[in-house]
């Protein structure tokens, strides 16, 4: 089952989930390393985020936003973003987002219809007009004075002559470099002393004599094992009797289970979990075996549904233990049908309920 098919499957059990998430916008960062998804109803627990069937690493999340890391070297283009809400991740929101370089702008679509006019508010009362004050007298304008004449510009004085540059004096001669003194001789290396001779290895000593063999221990006692059938006064449900040196001890079988453990409810002669949990087929089978239970067979699942389909979350998407091929398993497709079994990939993420037989 693909991830898209899993999202579709969530519609059959949406009644048992919380409000569905909604995506308003998907905003890539400038470096193209993360995206911020804005919306609502993302839940208080961390959701799962998919981009074209690839699950992203969620960096931060809240009721109205999710920040996820994009795959390395993602190619620019349009991508399908899916946010799956915890805890079962079967309630999801989808959004198509453009990530990377944006193509040319498409033609403008037709203008939408004008919206309805809003209701006009009531007109407020007009306030009274204030009285007009009296106009004051206009003052007399004074006469403009005459402009005086502009004075003449005086002549520019002459520029003085440039003096003669003096001659450059001669450079003095460089004095001679003094002679380098001779290097003294290196002293002779003294002779290396001779290595002394290696001493002779000593002779190996003779092997000591073997000690005597100790006395044999006493013979051990034999234990006899006798199976016991139900009805024996020592073990009413049967078991095993062990006899050692005439003394008997017993390992008795436990009695049949008559009540369901915590987290299970009784359906006729079986106990089935009251709440399903998300797991692959292999994970579900291992988990049930670890708690002393097993995945229900198709017949056991039909019997549980026939007895009452009202278990929390329903039975939609729950695994059953009837393998139909090496890479196939069965799951419940319709909890209201008498024969609700359909094939699905063993590696997909469905739900599971463990089952225990009782007397």
pLDDT digits (tens, 9 = 90+) for 102-147: 555 557 767 767 656 645 556 657 667 667 667 656 545 556 656 6
What's the CA angle centered on 86, arms 84 and 88, to 5 degrees?
90
Q: What are the Cα distances from residue 300, in Å, to 171, 296, 303?
A: 118, 6, 5
Q: Is the pLDDT of residue 265 over 60?
A: yes
pLDDT digits (tens, 9 = 90+) for 60-118: 999 999 999 999 878 899 999 999 999 988 889 999 999 876 555 557 767 767 656 64
Q: Given phi > 0 = left and psi -120 to 50 = alpha, else beta, which region is 292?
A: left
Residues ≥6 apart with Cβ < 8 Å to 27: 35, 36, 37, 38
Residues ≥6 apart with Cβ < 8 Å to 249: 241, 242
Q: What are phi and psi of 253, to 5 degrees?
A: -75, 150
Mean pLDDT of 217-240: 72
Would you place residue 182 in the very low, low, confident or very high pLDDT band (cuts 50, 70, 90)?
Answer: confident
Measured distance CA(311)–CA(305) in Å, rounded: 9
């Amino acid at each position: 089952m693909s991830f898209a098919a899993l999202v579709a499957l969530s519609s059959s059990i949406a009644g048992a989930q919380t409000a569905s998430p909604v995506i308003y916008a998907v905003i890539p960062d400038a470096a193209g390393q993360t995206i911020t998804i804005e919306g609502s109803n993302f839940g208080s627990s961390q959701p799962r985020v998919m981009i074209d069937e690839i699950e992203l690493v969620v960096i931060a999340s809240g009721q109205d936003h999710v920040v996820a890391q994009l795959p390395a070297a993602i190619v620019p283009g349009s991508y399908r973003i899916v946010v799956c809400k915890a805890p079962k991740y079967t309630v999801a929101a989808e959004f198509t987002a453009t990530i990377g370089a944006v193509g040319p702008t498409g033609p403008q679509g037709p203008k939408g219809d004008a919206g309805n006019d809003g209701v006009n508010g009531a007109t407020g009362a007009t306030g009274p007009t204030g009285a007009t004050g009296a106009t004051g007298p206009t003052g007399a304008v004074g006469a403009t004075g005459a402009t005086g004449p502009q004075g003449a510009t005086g002549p520019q004085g002459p520029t003085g002559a440039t003096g003669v540059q003096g001659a450059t004096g001669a450079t003095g001669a460089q004095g001679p470099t003094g002679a380098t003194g001779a290097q003294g001789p290196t002293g002779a290396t003294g002779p290396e002393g001779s290595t002394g001779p290696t001493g002779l290895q000593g002779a190996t000593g003779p092997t000591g004599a073997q000690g005597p063999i100790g006395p044999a221990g006493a013979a051990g006692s034999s234990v006899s094992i006798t199976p016991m059938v139900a009805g024996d006064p020592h073990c009413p449900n049967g078991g095993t009797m062990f006899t050692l040196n005439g003394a008997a001890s017993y390992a008795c079988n436990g009695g049949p289970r008559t009540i369901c453990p915590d987290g299970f409810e009784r359906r006729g002669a079986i106990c089935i979990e009251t709440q399903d949990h998300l797991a692959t087929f292999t994970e579900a089978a291992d988990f049930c075996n670890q708690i002393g239970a097993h995945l229900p067979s198709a017949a056991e699942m039909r019997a549980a549904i026939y007895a009452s389909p009202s278990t929390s979350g329903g039975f939609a998407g729950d695994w059953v233990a009837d393998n139909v091929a090496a890479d196939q398993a069965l799951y419940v497709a319709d909890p209201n049908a008498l024969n609700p079994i359909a094939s699905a990939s063993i590696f997909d993420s469905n739900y599971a309920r463990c089952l225990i037989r009782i007397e």
